[in-house]
Amino acid sequence: MRNLSMLIDFYELTMANSYYHHHKNEEAVFDLFFRSVPDDGGYAVMAGLEQAIQYIQELKFDEKDIDYLRTKKLFDEGFLTYLLNFKFSCDVSAIKEGTPIFPNEPVMVVRGPIIECQLVETMLLLTINHQSLIATKTSRIVYAAKGRSVLEFGSRRAQGYDAANFGARAAYIAGVIGSANTMTDRDFKIPALGTMAHSFIQSFDNEYDAFLAYAKTYPDSTVLLVDTYSTIHSGLPNAIRVYNDYLKPMGKTLKGIRIDSGDLTYLSKKAREMLDAAGLAETKITVSNSLDEYLITNLVQQGAQIDAFGVGERLITSKSDSVFGGVYKLAALKDNGAMIPKMKLSDNVVKTTNPGVKKLYRLFDQSSNKAIADVVTLDTEVINENEPYLLFDPNFPWKQKLVSDFRAVSLLEPIFKKGKLVYQKPSLEEIRSYHKEQMSTLWDEVKRFENPHPYYVDLSRKLWQLKQDLIEKYAKNS
């Protein structure tokens, strides 16, 4: 077990020390949310909750941590003793992993003593931001593949060990069928996939000998990399020859080929033609080589004869938009027994936060089971499914829509109560299945890559009015 207590922004410690010094540790509420979808997409995917839970459960400051902090000559001894005896006692609620999520809605809420809330900020953001980023990118890639298999091949290009492992986990949630990363098979039961590299073929006197040696080692699962020298003139003929000379007489088949370079549309069509002519209609064609959702979309549209896509660096690093902009903001603070709404007012409108203790609902159409909108409400509000509900754009409130015949689902699940885990953690397979089911509730217009239809995240009338009142109050006092 690693001690991650010091993976923390230093200002969280200096603030916490000041809170402690001034006997200020009242109950607070912090919202974790994000402001925009990567790649200008229509949705994101929640991931990383299980690792956030593990972090909270294991959070402690040991003597080594305290000795280090003492050397900074900034912290009260009483505060250092507080850290040494630290025990997390907050309530935490969160959206389930695999759920489509949208900007400016709380995906995690932490409620408890303000020092505790402050100290977990960095790790919660780090964990949710990273895995949600990779899950979002993967979901787009899987959608582009239109039912064809996607494999995660990015370990060697990931930005560190944890990024490779937890990135593969997030990718599996969002639909890849396996990973090249063996550790994720051991730790997460994500199928480890892979056959050979070009170096294996180059190590033999010729390509045929390399293919034959591999077939003899793995006769039941022979997949050959055919582009080391020439896919059409060398690789495919030698693969077919090994099938005829060795596999076919044994009653075995050539399970697949992989192409890692060249014009993948042309080469896959030609490969399919050659394989079919050789009686290998069941042999699968996998391609790799710097793929992403845009290239995969083009390949599919061009009629490429591809059964599976191996996607590496552009998935595991979310290369086209490598930041998931999750933030963690104070929403309420207890004063004289009452929770007082708090908000950040900014000259930049998108940085103005939603105040108060809140709930989050998703409205689904009863007949189609498609998601209509998300509604952020005050925690005292309940959306009545038996009455029509008026949705309105919080930025342009005259844009309204009255909906009926819907079901309202509360999205924030209790995770911790007073520091005790109350959430029944699902298996990774359950999260993966749940994600697939949840994606079916989004309209294709929301999932398209170019100019996706905006998914509505609305505020209840009471929350919207509270926000307007606070904006007016802060403006007068500024």
Residues 177 and 89 in one domain: no
Residues 286 and 392 in one domain: no
Q: How many CB atoms lie within 10 A of CB 230?
A: 14
First to last CA, the chain: 48
Q: What CATH number does residue 189 fall under? A: 3.20.20.70
Q: Give 425's DSSP letter.
A: P
Residues 126 and 91 in one domain: yes
Residues 155 and 222 in one domain: yes
* 4 part of a folded domain: no
Alpha-carbon torsion, ordered 383, 385, 388, 394, to 10 deg:
30
Residues 80 and 160 in one domain: no
CB 69 within 8 A of CB 6: no
Residues 173 and 96 in one domain: no
For 343, the token pair is 């908000």
Residues 453 and 327 in one domain: yes
Residues 156 and 260 in one domain: yes
* 3 part of a folded domain: no
Contacts of 166 (CB under 8 A, 6+ apart): 48, 51, 130, 131, 134
- Which CB contacts under 8 angstroms, 24+ apart, belong to 467-475? 467/343, 467/354, 467/355, 467/394, 470/341, 470/343, 470/345, 470/355, 471/343, 471/345, 471/352, 474/343, 474/345, 475/345
Residues 156 and 54 in one domain: no
Q: Which of 283, 300, 316 delimits the end of a domain?
A: 316
Residues 155 and 116 in one domain: no
Residues 260 and 394 in one domain: no
Residue with structure tokens 């902009």?
A: 325
Q: How many CB atoms lie within 10 A of CB 94?
A: 26
Report the domain count for the chain: 2
Q: Which of 275, 299, 316 delimits the end of a domain?
A: 316
Provide the residue-wise pLDDT of the chain in tens; the chain has 478 residues.
788 999 999 999 999 999 999 999 999 999 999 999 999 999 999 999 999 999 999 999 999 999 999 999 999 999 999 999 999 999 999 999 999 999 999 999 999 999 999 999 999 999 999 999 999 999 999 999 999 999 999 999 999 999 999 999 999 999 999 999 999 999 999 999 999 999 999 999 999 999 999 999 999 999 999 999 999 999 999 999 999 999 999 999 999 999 999 999 999 999 999 999 999 999 999 999 999 999 999 999 999 999 999 999 999 999 999 999 999 999 999 999 999 999 988 777 778 899 999 999 999 999 999 999 999 999 999 999 999 999 999 989 999 999 999 999 999 999 999 999 999 999 999 999 999 999 999 999 999 999 999 999 999 999 999 999 999 988 777 6
pTM above threshold 0.75: yes
Residue with structure tokens 């191996």?
A: 310
Beta strands 44-45 and 100-101: pairing type? antiparallel
Q: What CATH number does residue 328 fall under? A: 3.20.140.10
Q: Which of 294, 316, 338 delimits the end of a domain?
A: 316
Q: How many CB atoms lie within 10 A of CB 347?
A: 6
* 445 part of a folded domain: yes
Residue 299 structural domain = 142-316
